[in-house]
Amino acid sequence: MKHALTALALLLCAAAPSCAGEDDILIADFEGDTYGEWKTTGEAFGPGPARGTLPNQMEVTGFLGKGLVNSFHKGDGTTGTLTSPPFKIERKFINFLIGGGGYLDETYIALLADGKAVRTATGPNTQPGGSEELAWHSWDVTDLAGKEAVIQIVDKRTGGWGHINVDHILQSTTKKQTPEEEINVAELYNETYRPQFHFTARKNWLNDPNGLVFYKGEYHLFFQHNPTGIDWGNMTWGHAVSPDLIHWEQLRNAIEPDKLGTIFSGSAVVDWNNTTGFQKGDEKTIVAIYTAAGNPFTQCIAYSNDCGRTFAKYDKNPVLPHIVGGNRDPKVVWYAPGKVWVMALFKDKDIFAFFSSPDLKTWTQLQDMAVPGCGECPDFFEMPVDGDKNNRKWVWTAANGHYLIGTFDGKTFTKESGPHVADHGKNYYAVQTYSDIPEEDGRRIQIAWMNGGKYPRMPFNQQMSFPCEMKLRTLPEGLRICRTPVKEIEALRAKEHKWNDATLKPGDNPLADISGDLFDVRAEFELGDATEFGFRARGQAVTYSVKDKKLSCLGRSAELAPIANRIKLQILLDRTTIEAFGNDGKVSMTSCFVPKVKDKSMEAFAVGGSVKIVSLSVYELKSAWRK
């Protein structure tokens, strides 16, 4: 009987595509300089396997060895195919690592048998942000045992995430899986992917910052919020306050939907002169100006006489009826010379408008303005040039942060330059600056929605950027806005690691003994013979290319010329963000990423030669949420 069972087992094993214990059969590991017998069409796959990350690509991780298939050759605009030679299916599973675009008909890997696709898979990404990390995928091919097949990797897409990454294709008796990382969701405000010094809603969705206003020692942050769901919808004005732009307390929702519609973006002002007549006591009235997103969209106001704790809607809303399309996002500023309120409003497509009012209730249109490449969420404010209060310019911005510089006489804005790009990161949108900052402070402080960030399994969705001070400076190319983190970040410093007059050579890493997930890095380098240098935080690089004179981070880059042969960098690292600033804010890059939970590494690096560290301070930061 024992011999019969053994014979039966051998017979079943011979009929099956594999038996436990059999070795894996490698189809391709892409470690060579060429693709060997694999055939390419088009340009997307380049002349051979990539050695990791390609130029202007977010850092690619998760592949094995040194090489992989990466169709980002020359960017997302190229297309092509990569096809294997025929092979026989001899195991139960075909396993491979895959990442990149998630478009089933455009960026995919396919198993072809008898000339037909019998299995397919794609990367995970279809939206801005995302991750270039490869993960294991498996096909069960038991039913195809003994058949001849080929593998074809396809890139037909030319838009965002128009590439695919593949590595280490093998036949196996077992299914390979990428182990899930341990994620904490139990401890409120200390969840695995909860930013620790960027504002997030306690739970559920947020987007645009709204109604940024300062009054009696408090910074108010109203924000687009879905109080009942993790995704966009049911737009309501959420509300938080802070004494220092660092420590936030979320209050009850400020303005909720009504018969005129859900509550879209807008602004807030302190009505110091009681132009509305709403003031009913000693406290000055805070007035919110917002879009009621009904059918049609109209502009409305609400007011508070208790320091923003409660709001009453104006009983004669809307104050500005529907004009065209999805007109929305009123941003209001007081124009002191004319003693009038001025509103910047998005009308439709790339058209914006200005209006004026004596009382925030009745509005007269001043002008229309077309700004190609811009839409939504205008802002409008005056700034001193190089800190000179007697030399001032007016600045207009759109949702994407692109800005115009010009003059304003109370009736007409006259553009002198722009649009210019304020930030080169991939998660920077719906920007707004604070109203009513005291004159003795005088700063112009901006917050953006870091749109498109990913927060797997978190109770909240989306976050704000860290507040930045904006300065209008005279640069060789003309007047430009420079953005740097507000000085209040210094309150979170816990420990400093410091270097001066040191040489950074290839292979060196002075930060090797430092680990964590919250840092403020400030550095000044003097160029040497290094071709590149920079920092790597939790696996993500901020790189300066000496040849190209560009700063790069998470797949984005910006021109940054040295000043007196030196480059200054500041990097803010939070649990899901890297914000990089070059040469005192001449370049800023605001971006999100999803880190590997266990990777808390820090690195300073040089490539191709050495660079001098004039000064380097790495500040470990405390959480703003923990008391």
Looking only at Cα atoms, what is the longest distance across the chain? 105
Tell me, what amino acid is at 58? M
Rounded to 5°, angle at Cα 187 from 624 and 458: 90
Count the residues in the chain: 627
Beta strand residue intervals within 325-387, DSSP E: 328-335, 340-348, 351-357, 364-370, 379-385
Q: Which one of the listed residues 208, 423, 436, 574 is annotated catalytic? A: 208
Residues in Cβ contact with 462 at an 8 Å cutoff, skipping those fewer than 6 apart: 200, 201, 205, 206, 207, 449, 450, 451, 453, 455
Query: 């420990």: which residue's tokens?
Result: 495
Helix and strand element counts for the chain (H, E): 1, 43
Q: Which helix (H) or strand (E) holds 181?
A: none
CA distance 137 to 140: 10
What is the DSSP track for 266-331? EEEEEETT-TTS---SSSPEEEEEEEEESSSEEEEEEEESSTTS--EE-TT--SB---STT-EEEE
Three-state DSSP class for 15? helix
Three-state DSSP class for 466? coil
Beta strand residue intervals within 19-134, DSSP E: 25-28, 39-42, 69-70, 80-83, 87-88, 93-100, 107-113, 116-121
Query: 């004159």: which residue's tokens?
Result: 439
Decide if 75 contacts 68 (C-beta within 8 A): no
Q: Is 208 a catalytic residue?
A: yes
CA distance 484 to 580: 9
Closest listed residue to residue 544, CA positions, set 600, 607, 609, 615 = 607
Token code pair at residue 146:
């003994």
410: left (phi over 0), alpha (psi -120 to 50) or beta: left
Tell me, what amino acid is at 236? T
Token code pair at residue 274:
């009681």
With 0-12 / 13-18 / 19 or more C-beta atoms within 10 angstroms meaning exposed / middle / buried, residue 614 is: middle
384: left (phi over 0), alpha (psi -120 to 50) or beta: beta
Q: Which helix (H) or strand (E) holds 12?
A: helix 2-15
6: left (phi over 0), alpha (psi -120 to 50) or beta: alpha
Decide if 383 contacts 472 (C-beta within 8 A): yes
CA distance 152 to 81: 7
CA distance 307 to 303: 10
3-state secondary structure 475-498: ECCEEEEEEEECHHHHHHEEEEEE
Residues serving a catalytic function are 208
